[in-house]
Amino acid sequence: MSARIHNIGIDCHDTYALAGFWAQVFECPRQPDDHPGDPEAMLLPPGGPEVLFLAVPEGKSVKNRLHLDLEPVDRTRDEEVARLLAVGAVQVDDRRRPDGTGWVVLADPEGNEFCVLRSAAERAASTG
Domain 1-59 sits in CATH at 3.30.720
Helix H or strand E encompassing 54: strand 50-55
Domain borders along the chain are 1-59, 61-128
pLDDT digits 0-9 by tens, 109-127: 999 999 999 999 999 998 7
Domain 61-128 sits in CATH at 3.10.180.10
Dihedral of alpha carbons 14, 111, 9, 33, sign: positive
pLDDT digits 0-9 by tens, 57-110: 988 888 788 899 999 999 999 999 999 999 999 999 999 999 999 999 999 999
6 phi, psi to nearest 5 deg: -85, -50
